[in-house]
Amino acid sequence: MANFLIDSEDKRTYDAIVIGSGASGGWAAKELCEKGLKTLVLERGRDVKHIKDYPTAGKAPWQFEHRGTVTIDQRKDYQFARFMREETMHWAIKDDEQPFVEEKPFRWVRGYHVGGKSLLWARQTQRWSDFDYEGPSRDGFAVDWPIRYRDIEKWYAHVESFAGIAGNRDGLPELPDSECMPPFEMSCIETYFRDSLRQNFNDRRLIHGRCAHLSDPREIHQQQGRHKCQNQTMCNRGCQFGGYFSSNSSTLPWALKTGNLTVRPHAVVHSVIYDDAKQRAIGVRVIDGTTKDTIDFYAKIVFVNASALNTNAILLNSKSDRFPNGLGNDSGLLGRFIAWHNYRGRGSASYEGFQDKMTDGRNPSHSYIPRFRNVKKQEMDFLRGYAIGIGGGRGRGSDTSMIGDQLRENLLHPKLGNWHISSWMMGESVPMEKNHVRLHPDLKDKYGIPQLVISCEWSDNDDKMVEDYLQQQREMFEKAGFKDVQVNDSKSPPGSDIHEMGGVRMGRDPKTSLLNSWNQLHHCKNVFVTDGACMTSTGTQNPTLTYMALTARAANYAVEEMKRKSL
Ligand SMILES: Cc1cc2nc3c(=O)[nH]c(=O)nc-3n(C[C@H](O)[C@H](O)[C@H](O)COP(=O)(O)OP(=O)(O)OC[C@H]3O[C@@H](n4cnc5c(N)ncnc54)[C@H](O)[C@@H]3O)c2cc1C
């Protein structure tokens, strides 16, 4: 039964609707509410209140019934879920919540609760440069981005100042500086490797990864009720201190304070409602997650921030006489050119030096080597390149193969091993039309919404890039005098590396793209898409900072357009 469930249509009408309360949706809510728009955030998952709903935050290992392990019985409904530890089980998604069809192997990591994956992320926040925004047109592998770095620069700064970013100003043209507070300390093995790189490779730098943690909170963070990061490195349980940025600790409570925000959890968005007569979107159709009733909500503008693949699914399911193949899909490209990141390559090594250094500290971030392949010109036999994440520490181990006093003694006095270092590639995958998502014609989920078919695979370009990383990482470690150097290709399926993007890409030409330079659907201007779905190409940088900056930019544009009565 539709629409008779909560009050009148009037009470279901807002100025703006935001679909999804994660990293990008939180920003849409904050900006729109601050500018005075009555905003409804629709979120499919349960509510998560900052602090109150982090049940395992700060707990010691012995406070968990199974010391972190999830029992076979507890796992039975979660065969495909991530976050299967006692500490993080509260974020795991049951298999029946949203089945999907893997036409080719794909890992789809999701966070279905208020805050979305902003509660689960590793908080790395590197800016893009024009080497990224100009990449598709320079190298001819995708349509031209309709924006350049200068268009988004001030929005990066806007987001960074509010979220709080720890890092250095490194002065690298390929990785523009962020608005930063001091970085977290590197371990001695990382600083040693940094110096070795500088001596041996003039195209590579090891820097502090910029991360959304408060190392030196400013007034604006105190106003959010957030505090300095305590380096507990238990971030993915939820942080009581608000030490890292999440929608729950930052943008959503800020928006709530304006009095303009309504958040509706358990609201599974079915589609955006398009009115053929008015030639605009008029609202959003929701299936109530608890009662399974259909409810329509209305607004002047809609921001779709359900995370890349879900945003594709929602738009594909938004069918009308005008748009029989999905909202705004005149080009037939909705759902196509899905791309992601390539973290397949891994490396590790050990070092026999620094035996006098006993501790490695606790760093909620890690070190980072910005992309050095094909940056200024095409020079390899593959397109684009990869950045590298680096972490290091001192190994310690205890023989626990006994019981009694000796076991106690071994646990109390673990033996220190050598220093070790680990590396992971962060490669750019090139968008291809054949990599796509579409709706299954028959299969539906428990809400009656068509299941998503995901059809994505690695390309020859990805394989060559992994090969180059493996060779280069080996060489970098060997030049540093490290021992036990190991590199390998995990051959993990696409999606394992979490940063899926595209399907609703930005561009200049409505024939080859879905969104314009302000993230509006070319053919339905009051619908904005500002999550990963909008990405024309993927860069190597962790992408969320760019989604958040694009969101803040588009939201402010939308407000201005509404004032001008152009929307
Ligand atoms: C372990 C891990 C580590 C990561 N590390 C990093 C990192 O270091 N740096 C980085 O940049 N990125 C990182 N990411 C990725 C980052 O979390 C995402 O890019 C980011 O959260 C995407 O923001 P979003 O708003 O698009 O989606 P999300 O944050 O996922 O939010 C989407 C929201 O929409 C809701 N939703 C979905 N479908 C519907 C529907 N039909 N109806 C209503 N609501 C819906 C979801 O429940 C969710 O709350 C990491 C992710 C994970 C899981």
User: By CB neighbour count within 10 A (0-12 exposed, 13-18 middle, 19+ buried), where does 219 fall?
Assistant: exposed
- Which residues does 258 contact at the CB level (< 8 Å), separation at least 6? 33, 34, 36
Which is the closest atom of ligand 1 to the Cα of 114?
A: 49
Give the integer Cα–Cα distance in Å for 155 and 548.
9
Q: How far apart are the first and last CA of the chain?
A: 31
Q: What is the pLDDT along the chain (567 residues), one digit of tens a residue?
A: 444 456 688 899 999 999 999 999 999 999 999 999 999 999 999 999 999 999 999 999 999 999 999 998 888 888 777 778 999 999 999 999 999 999 999 999 999 999 999 999 999 999 999 999 999 999 999 999 999 999 999 999 999 999 999 999 999 999 999 999 999 999 999 999 999 999 999 999 999 999 999 999 999 999 999 999 999 999 999 999 999 999 999 999 999 999 999 999 999 999 999 999 999 999 999 999 999 999 999 999 999 999 999 999 999 999 999 999 999 999 999 999 999 999 999 999 999 999 999 888 889 999 999 999 999 999 999 999 999 999 999 987 788 889 999 999 988 888 889 999 999 999 999 999 999 999 999 999 999 999 999 999 999 999 999 999 999 999 999 999 999 999 999 999 999 989 999 999 999 999 999 999 999 999 999 999 999 999 999 999 999 999 999 999 999 999 999 999 999
Spell out the alpha helix ranges (H) of 95-187: 130-133, 135-139, 149-163
Q: With residue 399 as reference, give the H or E element that holds it.
A: none
CA of 41 from ligand 1 middle (Å) equals 15
Report d(CA 504, CA 536) in Å as an integer. 8
d(CA 182, CA 218): 12
Cα→Cα distances 561→35, 178, 260, 481, 554, Å:
12, 29, 19, 59, 10
Query: What is the distance between the alpha carbons of residues 263 and 114, in angstroms, rounded to a whole number?
Result: 9
For ligand 1, mutation pick of 296, 310, 496, 544 (most atoms within 8 Å of CB):
544
- Which of 88, 117, 156, 499 is the best mutation target for the ligand 1 pocket, counting ligand atoms within 8 Å of the beta carbon and taking the most? 117
- What pLDDT sits at residue 264? 98
d(CA 435, CA 538): 14
Nearest CA to ligand 1 atom 37: 306
What angle (nearest 5°) sits at the alpha carbon of residue 31, between those of residues 541 and 254?
A: 100
Q: Are 239 and 118 in contact (CB under 8 A)?
A: no
With the most atoms of ligand 1 within 8 angstroms of its CB, the residue from 43, 44, 121, 545 to mutate is: 121
Atom of ligand 1 nearest to the CA of 542: 11
Angle separating helix axes 188-200 and 460-479, nearest 10 degrees: 100
CA distance 528 to 524: 9
Dist. CA 404 → ligand 1 center (Å): 46
Ligand 1 atom 2 nearest Cα? 121
Cα–Cα dist 561/552, whole Å: 14
Q: How far apart are CA 27 and CA 547, in angstroms?
A: 9
pLDDT at residue number 364: 94
So what's the pLDDT on residue 413?
86
Of ligand 1's listed atoms, the one at least distance from the Cα of 269 is 42
* Residue 78 CB coordination number (10 Å): 17
Position 21 scores a pLDDT of 98
550 three-class SS:
helix
User: Are the C-beta atoms of 311 and 504 separated by less than 8 Å?
Assistant: yes
* Per-residue DSSP letter, 381: S
Residue listed under structure tokens 């709080």: 164
Mutate to test the pocket of ligand 1, among 19, 112, 271, 307 (most ligand atoms within 8 A of CB): 307
Task: List residues near ligand 1 (CB under 6 A).
Answer: 19-25, 42-45, 109, 111-112, 116-118, 120-124, 267-269, 305-307, 310, 314, 498-499, 531-532, 542-544, 547
Atom of ligand 1 nearest to the CA of 545: 11
Residue 446 CA to ligand 1 center (angstroms) comes to 22
Quickly tell me which residue has 């899926």 as its tokens: 500
How confident is the model at residue 310, as a pLDDT? 98
| Atom number of ligand 1 nearest to Cα 268 | 42
